[in-house]
Structures are given as C-alpha cells and as structure tokens.
Chain A
C-alpha cells in the first residue's frame, strides 16, 4: 500500500468498516430473514429441516428459478429487465427435445444445444434493445409472447417426451455426483460461483455495473456499451438455457406450456436479494438467498398445509416487505 492510500485510509478511520456494513446490510438482512423463516418452520414442523426435505424439496425446487434469476441479475444490474426468460425456458426445452430426438444426440450434445439456443434467444433481446433502441421492458415483453407461441408451435402443443431415449438425461438434475446431494443443486451452486466470478472479476462484470451505474458516462469513456449489453442479455440467455436443461431432466420431458410466470419469480428473487431495479448494484449471492427465501416459504407453507392460494398472498407480502425494508434502509443511509 502506498503512502497516499494509507493516509486516505487512516483519515477515513473507522468509517470504512461502517461503510462496508452499510453496503452489505441488504444481503445480511436477507440472509437473516432466511434463517428466521427456516427456524420458524422447523419449530412448527421438525420434518421441515430433514435433509430429505431440504435437498429434495427446498433446494431442488430452487434450481430452475435460481438459474434463471442468476441470469436476470446481470440484466437488472445494467438497469434493464428481461421478461422473456420464462417462456424462453419453455422454448429452449422444446427445441432441445426436438433436436435431441431428430439428431440422436447424447446427453452432452443436448446440453450444448440448450446453452446455445438460450444464448441466441438472449442475444436477440440484446440486439432489439441496443440496435433497435427499444426499452428493455417492451423488447422482452415482445419476445416473451413470441417465445410462448413458438414453444407451442414447435411442440404441436404436446409435451416432448425425449428424455427416456437419452442415456443419463435424468441424472443431469436427479443424479448424485456427490452422495446425498442432487446434481441439479450442484449445478446451481457451481453456476452461482461462476456467475459471481464473472460479475466481480471479469471485464464483462465491470461493464455490467458501469452501464447500470451511468450508461452515458460509460459510453463517453470509450466503452462499446451496446456490444456489452448484448453480451449481458446473451449471458442471461445462457443461464436460461441451462435452467431449461435442468428442468427437462427433472420433469422427464419438455413442457411447452410451462414457464410463463417464472420470469416474475426470478425477478422477485433478484429483488429480494437486494439488487437494485435502478441498476448499478447487486450480487449473485443475494439472488441465491432471494430464491431460497421464496422456495423455503412455499415449501414450509405447503408443509403447514396452507392452501396454495394463500401461499401466493404470503409470497406477495414478502416481496413488499423486502423492497420496503430496502427503501427504509436506503433512506436512512441518505441514498434516496
């Protein structure tokens, strides 16, 4: 450390620690809420905390939304939004199923198809937003409807039953590479780590934050903002492609009508995890915590035998609470 840095650090004194806490309090609060909710359900029904329920129930049901939410996190940090991830999930699933059957691909080939198709769909969003200069909300609303239709057309409105013909497809999500630990959950964990590295250690990650923080300033600094934005939407699509692969493995088929509405759950997970809808700020770990809060809630309420209708109401209330809490905190910190 140079003298200048030392001097600056010393002059700011203890404010560095408090600044760190202030910055991280969003995630800390989210994590604390997760623990509190978990403990609450465990006390109500001890079976809730059993490994069978935690791994097979909570974690497994987090995989698809979690993977999608990771992708959406990048988009939201740039200040954008992607409403198309839900129906894109269905479209990728169907295309993977059809391609695997037509070309007799093995499991690796199928996974590759999923990742590529997802990435292409994401790039299309990116191109619409940058080249045609459409607002992200409108562009992805359009691709959301288009993907929904295309999924139904491609599949003839029927589930694509392809997984039985591909050796090992069911173990993508359901196998146990690590004993007692479903592969789907492992994929989510690895994906989260990779995403976190991309976001924090790579050029793409830096520009993701820069664009969300001040796109015009980034552009004036000589960064090719459009190119990087397309890359961000493409990356979001890659994670959606992976989510589609995992989902077909879990379900044993590609379902053309499953996915609509998932985009809002993914966005909710991102927001609960403390990522700002205004852009410039967010973390992958926060998103994972957000996704876990939602699946813990749904799982716990189901174990408490609360009607599904009421489960929706509770999830809605949690989203309100999370965002309101974030607002209050930021107003105190003088950010708003």
Chain B
C-alpha cells in the first residue's frame, strides 16, 4: 500500500471479571482509509473502541500510532494523540451552542485566562464548519437541532482536535437516508484530507458504499479482515454469526383470516398526523414503513393514548374504544413495544419476573396487596421457556441480558397481560444479526397463533420479510397500503417520499 499506516493493534486482549471481552485482536488503519469493524453485540467492538479512546486499559498487546508504540491511559491522552471518537449516544451538552460544544475544554480565552473570547470561538467554529462544508449556525443551541445536525456537531468537534483518527460508532443509526448520504459526503472529505476513519455499523448494506476494508470480530476474537471491493455482504454476515443467514426472505405459508380486529379511522394529532385510516386483520403482520419523522411512532402513541388525538376513531372488533390514556389501550388488549426498550419498555435494574408481571400486577397480588411471588416466578419461567429467553434464571437482572433477550422479556410482559394486538416499534433495533432472526421467527409464530401485529420498522428488508401487508407513511399521512407480493424496496421508497400533494401545510 502506498499510504502510510496510522494505527496498528497487535494481540490486544481485555478481560473483565468472568468474561474475555477481547482475545488477541489485530487491527490496522491507514491514512485516507475507512476501515469498518463489524460483529454482533458482544463481539468486542465497543471494548476495542473504548481501549482506543482511553476509556478502558488493555490487558495485553501493543498499540502503534504513526510508527511509535503508545499507551492510551485516558480520553484526554487519546485526544492529545489525535484519536477522536463519536459515540453512538451523542455526547453533547444540549444547553450549549454549537461553537461552545465543539470547543468545550479548549475555549479561546482573553489575556489572563479567566474570561472567554466568544467572538474568537464563533469565528473558529465558522471556519471549521465551512471547511467541512457543514451548514450549521455556530450560535444555535444544540438541543434545538435535529439529531443529524447534532451529529454534524460531533463530527466537527472530532475534527477540531486535528487528530488523524476518527472513530464513528453506529453513526447512521438515527439518520434518514438523505442524512446518511450527507454523512458519507463528509466522511469522503475527511478521507481526502488523509484522515483515517474507523467505522462501526450494524447496517451492513452501508459498508459497500463507504468503507475500504472490513474487519470482522466474533465473541471477542479476531475473525478476518476483508477488502470491501469484491466482498459480498452475505460473506460478512456468515463470518459474523459463524453460519449462513439468508437475506431477502418473504413470508411463507401465511393463513390470515378476514376478520378485522383493529380499525383506525381518520386519526389526526396536533402536530403531524393527518387523517390516517387503516385496518388490521386477525393473525396478520402489518408493517409500517417510512422515513424518520414520517409519523409512525406518533401514530402508535396516538392509538394507545400516550399522546392526545385531535380526531379519529379506534374500533376494536367492531366496538369503538374510548382511549384517553395508555391504560385504556392495555385494558382493551393493545400492547405497545417502544423502539426505546431501555427507556420505555423495561426496568433495567429489576429482574425478569418483575418485568414480565409489570403490566399484570393485580393478577399476582392477594387481597391484602401482597405479591404472590411463587405464581409470578412460575409465569415468568413459562414465558422464558415459551419465548426461549436466554437467562440463567427468572431472577436475573434485565440489564445483564442481551438486547434480543430483553426484547423477548418485553414481549412476554404483553403476552402475560393477554394482549392480542401488539404494536412493535423497531423490534430489532440494537439487536444482533443472529438474534434478529430469532425475533423474526417469534413474531411470525405469534401471528400464526392468532395475535395481530403492527410492526414499525425502518429496515426495509425486515419489513418485506415479515409483513403480510405494508403501510407506508410520509409526513404524517398514510401514502399507501400494499400487499407483500406487490411490494419491493423501490415501491416503498416512492411512497415514503410522496411529500407532493400538500406542500402548504409543511411546518
């Protein structure tokens, strides 16, 4: 290779009590290169990143940076070397301005060192933003920006250290396709200026677009480094999971009744939703596709009464429901599984039993209000067996389970509550490729058993694989409902970007 090597890791290991998080891992990065690290959750990606950014210390192995052996004892030291990291959960101060965030810790000061020089600060930010061709106002308050723009702030901040290595951890996980393209443009600018980018992503289809090489990790072990050119995604996936996973599947052997379980008529809300009507049949999986911000989560929240509606009817098995708050929906048998499990779906510091019975506590209480823990644990054990939750016992804390198993616990919670209409919002977000498959099978099994499922997903292969019908939203409106057999990615994207017929109401 003609380009110089920036970074090389050889034989890096890291052990946590009882877990070998990294075992003899190799990795290297050249100038002007985008090198992806992929692997399932628990493969060791984030441990590796944390070692590189000075948050963890390695137990063994060497790190060479620009030809010299280095140690990285702290985040400050990593920055001094020129290694910046953009974390998946953005690390910004929402109350401060763009410029203040970019230069936090390195503010321009007036002579004397006590007073800040905001004019100089904003000028420096403006220069930097221009250099990166980012359209951002340095004086805007970061908390008022979109996620995509906040991420641009993070990138500007990382570049402002004038380092040579930038680590991006799942940078596209909350971006729209257009925003992702804009990000890729920025990454190409960085590449052209000779920086090395370490790119971590669950979205494998992105790798071909932006990376030069791909390193695969599995269970803390180094598997292989591939040149992106000439590599098939399926090959990467089989290296990640250690077996072959099929892509582009469609539902098979589906047997859906004609009975309409849930009917939504003319639903609108204060901000976004406009006259949304659709129906859901017994045993059906109805997928909801659309861009970020199309209103799918808002629709789900309006249906279950988490947010107020301004118009519309919700009819369950022919009877109109008066839903004013989420408990009304739950009482009617409609369960909502939020896209943000950790915030809205689970009590992380409680055990599996507690979480499974959370929605049905009165059933597990005697007349004096004491909990019948034996029967609760029994139900929990049944659910664990039925949904194949991998946990040492029903008293394990939720935070110790993997993402896929946490999701199964949320499902168990609603099944225990006897919900037969389930609304899944991004059911596989943050879940490994291997575990995703299991969630897909579980959703199919639930629908075959007669549960009616609404599934909101931003991953089109997922929508196409599971949904019997696909509803597409754009800008708060339903732009189409299509049968799976008529659907493909192109058709869905066309419907998802159908902004045209009411430009006047865009706010």
Q: Which residues of A contact B (CB under 8 A)?
A: 2-5, 7-9, 11-12, 19, 23, 201-206, 209-210, 212-214, 216-223, 280-281
Contact = CB atoms under 8 A, between A and B. Distances in A.
B144 A202 contact: no
Interface stretch (B103-111, B197-205, B428-436): B103-111
A323 B116 CA distance: 32
Contacts of A19: 141, 144
A4 B135 contact: yes
B405 to A, nearest CB: 26
24 contacts: A2-B123, A2-B127, A4-B129, A4-B130, A5-B137, A8-B136, A202-B114, A202-B115, A202-B116, A203-B107, A203-B116, A206-B100, A206-B116, A209-B95, A209-B96, A212-B95, A213-B94, A217-B93, A220-B75, A220-B91, A221-B104, A222-B75, A222-B79, A281-B95
Contacts of A218: 93, 104-105
A5 B100 CA distance: 15
B383 interface: no
Which A-B residue pairs are the 8 nearest by beta carbons?
Answer: A217-B91, A8-B137, A213-B93, A280-B95, A213-B95, A223-B105, A222-B76, A222-B105
Given A4-B130, A4-B136, 18 more contacts: A5-B126, A5-B139, A8-B137, A9-B137, A12-B140, A19-B141, A19-B144, A202-B114, A203-B116, A210-B104, A213-B94, A217-B92, A218-B105, A220-B55, A220-B75, A221-B104, A221-B105, A222-B105
A221 B109 CA distance: 17
Contacts of A202: 114-116
Interface in B136-157: 136-141, 144, 157
Contacts of A12: 137, 140
A19 B130 CA distance: 24
Contacts of A4: 126, 129-130, 135-136
A201 B92 CA distance: 20
A202 B130 CA distance: 27
Contacts of B100: 206, 210
A4 B139 CA distance: 12
A219 B107 CA distance: 15
Contacts of A220: 55, 75, 87, 91
Interface string B40-51: 000000000000
B118 to A, nearest CB: 8
Interface string B309-351: 0000000000000000000000000000000000000000000
Interface in B213-232: none
Contact of B140 (A8, A203, A217): A8
B135 A7 contact: yes
B166 to A, nearest CB: 15
Which residue among B79, B96, B105, B114 has the maximum number of chain A CB atoms within 10 Å of its CB?
A: B105
Nearest to B53: A220
Interface of B: 55, 75-76, 79, 87, 91-96, 100, 104-107, 109, 113-116, 122-123, 126-127, 129-130, 135-141, 144, 157
Contacts of B138: 5
A9 B138 CA distance: 10
A280 B93 contact: yes
A225 to B, nearest CB: 10
Contacts of B144: 19
A260 to B, nearest CB: 33
A218 B100 CA distance: 11
Contact of A203 (B76, B109, B135): B109
Contact of A280 (B55, B94, B109, B130): B94
B96 A223 contact: no
A124 B376 CA distance: 48
A2 B96 contact: no
A147 B300 CA distance: 54
Main SS of the interface on chain B? Answer: loop
A66 to B, nearest CB: 24
A68 B140 CA distance: 32
A9 B136 CA distance: 9
Nearest to B113: A203
A280 B126 CA distance: 24
B316 to A, nearest CB: 29
Nearest to A8: B137
A217 B157 CA distance: 12
Contacts of A210: 93, 96, 100, 104
B59 to A, nearest CB: 22
A110 to B, nearest CB: 27
A221 to B, nearest CB: 5
B104 A223 contact: yes
Contacts of B76: 222
A326 B79 CA distance: 40
B93 A203 contact: no
A204 to B, nearest CB: 8
Contact of B91 (A2, A205, A206, A216): A216
A222 to B, nearest CB: 4
Nearest to B161: A222
A94 to B, nearest CB: 33
A65 B75 CA distance: 41
A185 to B, nearest CB: 27
A222 B95 CA distance: 18
Contacts of A217: 91-93, 104
A8 B122 CA distance: 14
A279 B106 CA distance: 22
A217 B55 CA distance: 13
Contacts of B109: 203
Nearest to A281: B95
Contact of A209 (B55, B93, B106, B140): B93
A214 B129 contact: no
Nearest to B133: A4
A278 to B, nearest CB: 10
Nearest to B94: A213
Contacts of A223: 104-105
Contacts of A280: 93-95
Contact of A214 (B79, B92, B127, B157): B92
